[in-house]
Structure 1
Amino acid sequence: MANQVEPKLIKPLMDALQQERFVTLATIDHETGGPNVSAISWVLAKNDETIYFAVDNRSRIVQNINNNKQAVINLIANESTYSISGNASVKEEKLEGVPLKLALIEVVINEVRDVMFYGSKIVAEPQYDKTYDKNAATRLDKQVMDAMKKA
């Protein structure tokens, strides 16, 4: 049986992407032309066809996207693993209302593919802890997510 493929986010994925969340992002490296994978957490589904994420505006991710718009977000949610492919672009060079110089990236979704291997399901989603000042991290996370919701 083939894995499910959708043209946009299904409701459980839309819901999962309404708060900060661990995902991986694959872009095409602007120097080597090969794959480049990064872990990010400031990610938000703006609607079922668009995902926003924020990264340092000096990030290699920004350079990669400016050179080649193809991107894939890997999301673990809904007891499975999803590959969300689309075209990425820098929506804002500096996200307003945030003390850091973060770029707001917009991904227009082409395809959402369930890529979990046959006969299995995810029983525990990835978790992480911020290793710097917890209060500062919480405050910054709120600022970034609020700014992306307003964008």
Structure 2
Amino acid sequence: MANQVEPKLVKPLYDLLQKEHYMILATVDHETGGPNVNAISWVYALSEEAIRFAVDNRSRIVQNLEKNPNAAFTLIANETTYSISGKASILEEKLEGVPLKLALVEVAINEVRDIMFYGSKITVQPQYDKTYDKNAAAKLDKQVLEAMRNRI
């Protein structure tokens, strides 16, 4: 049986991405042309057709996307695994309203694909803890999410 493919985020995924969420981001390495994979969490679904994320503006992710805008996210949700692919644009090299030097990137979604292997489901959602000051982390997370939402 073929896995389900959609041209945009379905409502449960859109709703999930209204707050910080752990995702894997794959880009094309600007030096080797091979895959480059990173874990990110400052992610926000602007609409069912676009996802924004923030990363350090000196990141290899930014360098990769400047050369090749193809990007794919891996997202675990709803007892399955999704691949969300599209074309990335760097909207801001320095995101306003945030004390860190973060780039704001927007990915126009081409495809959302359920990629879970046949006859299985995810039984435990990935979780993570911030290992630095919890109050500082919460404040920074709020600033980043608000900056990503407010950028028109």
Instruction: Name 1:98's counterpart in structure 2.
Output: 98
Cα distance in 2 for residues equivalent to 1:81 and 1:143: 29
Aligned residue pair count: 151
Aligned equivalents of 2:35 and 2:110: distance in 1?
A: 19
Taking the aligned partners of 1:131 and 1:77, their CA distance within structure 2 comes to 24
Identity of aligned residues (%): 73
**Aligned position for 1:48:** 48
- Structure 2: gaps spanning 5 or more residues: none
SS in 2 for 1:64: helix
After TM superposition, list the pairs within 5 Å mapping 1:19-38 onto structure 2. Answer: 19-38=19-38
Give 1:120 shift.
1.0
Q: CA deviation at 1:132?
A: 0.7
Distance 2:36 2:48 in 1: 25
Instruction: Please provide the CA RMSD for this pair.
Output: 0.5
Structure 2 counterpart of 1:136, one-letter code: A
State the partner residue of 1:131.
Answer: 131
Aligned partner of residue 31 in structure 1, secondary structure: coil
Q: Deviations over 1:60-84 (max 9, x none)?
A: 0000000000000110011110000
User: After TM superposition, what 4+ stretches of structure 1 lie above 6 angstroms from structure 2?
Assistant: none
For 1:11, the aligned partner's letter is K
Answering whether residue 108 of structure 2 is matched by residue 113 of structure 1, we say no
**1:70 pairs with 2:70:** yes
- Normalising to structure 2: TM-score of the pair? 0.98
Q: Alignment partner of 1:47: what SS? A: coil
Q: TM-score, normalised by structure 1?
A: 0.99
Structure 1: segments with no counterpart, 5+ residues: none
- Taking the aligned partners of 1:7 and 1:150, their CA distance within structure 2 comes to 25
Q: What is the distance in 1 between the residues matched to 2:83 and 2:64?
A: 19
CA distance in 2, matches of 1:124, 1:144: 27
